[in-house]
Chains A and B, each alone.
Chain A
């Protein structure tokens, strides 16, 4: 008999510290702190100045949204590679709406961006769930299709800052209590999605489906519906990110958002989302996004040359995957050991 005896009760503080040390997010937070400290020592303005602090929170905000959406999809053992193109389309829609309907209220534009993103996500999800084609292939296809539509739509009329109302552009760089509004939005989304993933049936079923799809079938979970939900949610968050992209940068051409899909996947993986689904948290993915973008800004200040910066990001991804592999191998060996002991 190999049943585990529950550990003896410890005092709550000690237990909280133990949970903290064991959690997968702690490692990424430590890495982030390391980068911050090292860079600040070298060049204090990185963190201590008003601009430094603002940029620290503002730059990653859009990518935090993308990473959260991507994490939800990867948790179900799928992937969304169309993220960058969806950002491009929704960002352009934002500018187009301001040009074609002058005076359109900002909230309506935001909702329109989210709705378009959700629709594009629905197309991804439906193709994957009903046509039974792997997500990698479907979203690689829609990556190009969505981008193609974007290029055709933008034509020779990219959006410039002057096309959009001043309020909207101001909103992109505004702050509340010294905290950038975009960062607050990202944080609110993080809390809401994190809550759903942890405490609702739908959220837990996303984990279950990614953890073992065939077991999910035997449990009678509605896999098709849940996977489509994940893609729609990812699309909606990406749409929101597209609107914020327009507000933050002011110019939107046909190449806006190119390559963002890989950054979002990298953030999720570095943040502890297992690429085969079933484990990790959206909080981890969000911190992963902050870490990646902070490193991106820090490396030039640390005197690291341009071409090495990419390599550092790559090393981080490999390191995160290697760590996950080591952890799961260790689990596996434990399983074998227990089984053999039980049999002898």
Chain B
């Protein structure tokens, strides 16, 4: 078995294998990466950390050949490389394990490992026997038992990840990138993956490990690079850092003054969620939102926040638990009933869920109230335009006319339309999921001002957000989720980047222990 030592290993860190310097990448007007810096050495496991949207995935995709950098240098073994496809990156000895395993569900495990690079016999035939044998050798090196003939469909995420690792090993990759490989794994599976990672390191390969979990980074990695807002912040040996300093680097902004929420009188309990469970997605979710209150739902991507929001609104079903609005219970998986009770959801992906891109502005604005507008089941354009015009003016939506297709508007204006659409239905409870993702700073402030005003008028707001400044600035209370569970509930006065980040990366026991230690000293 592979030894279980951690970062304090004696393995010699070797030469620089991969180096990114001043790399930048933009998508339209959005600069996803400004100055990416990364240096990977042979025989080293390097951690890459940062908040959501810090630019980690962009770096991974540039290394993998999925994106092409706009500027900067990218060298492999000292020579400049210019990957135009994943095949080129792969041929150069780089293997990437993505957060979501990318396997072919219908094909066998063996085929998944060797697809595109199968060993051949004469007549252009695939040498199935050799391929199968090679797969078995890889599995025995990894010390796992997976039937090489079974289809990839139905494998657990952990086993799928093992197959990704086997794929990387079969490439004999010099560089192995692991993008949050542990997000869906149990403790035992994480241990197994780490043992494999250390063995690969000891063979002299360079590994890049992306994770939000500090304990994993400290257990596995020897060096850590922090990124923030698409920029390189620092690279340090792991021994010379500690969690608070890393968190400070990751957050690094003056967050308190950015989004001040106006004071509002907090009223009755508007939304009550009790013991909500959905197998495999979230567990034991209980909280309340009062009238006039904004409750922030924070956590890392994949923590299950959007799923909770969708379940409350009735988009998805849940296994057990109870949701009520002003004392009236909300039936499960029934969005019409939820809307009738005054619940509105502004979804995360407005392009897919919130807007009908081909419809005009007016039709989109009135979609949620078209029943009320209709006479004898028929909609008149006049009534539609009349109702829409008021909202478009109130929210200052900038479009040529009310007939302009929503898909042609800017992200900020699209978001305003989605909001207006729901506000037109006069909800009592508003759930917003990532209300300002991908919109410019100016519109962001407008959206925040709107939310704050609405709360002032007595609306109860549940705000799912991955942006810490937004959560800290807007929320009266912050609920933090991690891996499908609420780990902490933090009142506005105590909510800081550090407390929220800590709760998002530790389980409930650890959070409770930490607060108990902290309290007496305060």
Contacts and interface: CB of A to CB of B under 8 A. Distances in A.
Given A208-B104, A218-B86, A219-B116, A3 B145 contact: yes
Interface stretch (A84-92, A124-132, A328-336): A328-336
B316 interface: no
Interface in A5-49: 5-7
Contacts of A212: 102-105
Interface string B177-200: 000000011101100100000000
Contacts of B192: 1
Interface stretch (A54-62, A107-115, A151-159, A197-205): A197-205
A229 to B, nearest CB: 14
B125 interface: yes
B186 A211 contact: no
A192 B349 CA distance: 47
Contacts of B65: 220
Interface size on B, as a range, is: 35 or more
Interface stretch (B153-161, B429-437, B448-456, B500-508): B153-161
A220 B150 contact: no
Given A200-B125, A218-B98, A6 B106 contact: no
Contact of B126 (A200, A207, A214): A200
Contacts of A210: 106
Nearest to B98: A218
Given A1-B189, A204-B111, A220 B106 contact: no
A339 B280 contact: yes
Nearest to B188: A1
Interface in A193-252: 199-201, 204-205, 207-208, 210-212, 214-222
B279 A340 contact: yes
A343 interface: yes
Given A201-B118, A343-B280, A2 B158 contact: yes
Contact of B115 (A1, A199, A204): A204
Given A211-B104, A278-B104, A343-B186, A217 B86 contact: yes
B374 interface: no
A220 B90 contact: yes
A3 B98 CA distance: 20
A311 interface: no
Interface string B226-251: 00000000000000000000000000
Contact of B157 (A5, A201, A214, A339): A339
A80 B66 CA distance: 30
Nearest to A218: B102
B265 interface: no
Contact of A336 (B66, B106, B280): B280
Given A204-B115, A211-B104, A212-B104, A335 B126 contact: no
A338 interface: yes
Contact of B103 (A201, A215, A220, A343): A215
B187 to A, nearest CB: 10
Contacts of A215: 102-104
Contacts, number: 121
A6 to B, nearest CB: 5
B87 interface: yes
Interface in B87-125: 87-90, 96, 98, 102-107, 111, 115-116, 118, 120, 124-125
B159 A220 contact: no
B491 to A, nearest CB: 31
A253 B375 CA distance: 54
B26 interface: no
B144 interface: yes
Nearest to B127: A199
Q: Which of B89, B120, B124, B188 has the most chain A CB atoms closer than 10 A to its own CB?
A: B124
Given A4-B146, A201-B126, A220-B85, A211 B158 contact: no
A340 to B, nearest CB: 5
B147 interface: yes
A204 B117 CA distance: 11
Nearest to B105: A211
B87 A220 contact: yes
Contacts of A205: 115-116
B104 A1 contact: no
A208 B115 contact: yes
A98 to B, nearest CB: 36
A211 B107 CA distance: 8
A2 B156 contact: yes
Interface of A: 1-7, 199-201, 204-205, 207-208, 210-212, 214-222, 274, 278-279, 331, 334-336, 338-340, 342-344
Interface of B: 64-66, 85-90, 96, 98, 102-107, 111, 115-116, 118, 120, 124-126, 128, 144-147, 150, 153-159, 162, 184-186, 188-189, 192, 279-280
27 contacts: A1-B158, A1-B188, A1-B189, A2-B155, A4-B147, A6-B147, A199-B125, A200-B126, A201-B124, A204-B115, A204-B126, A205-B116, A207-B106, A211-B104, A212-B102, A212-B105, A218-B86, A220-B89, A278-B106, A331-B154, A335-B154, A335-B156, A338-B154, A338-B155, A339-B280, A342-B156, A342-B186
7 cross-chain pairs, A with B, having the tightest CB-CB distances, nearest first: A220-B87, A211-B104, A278-B106, A215-B102, A220-B86, A279-B106, A211-B106
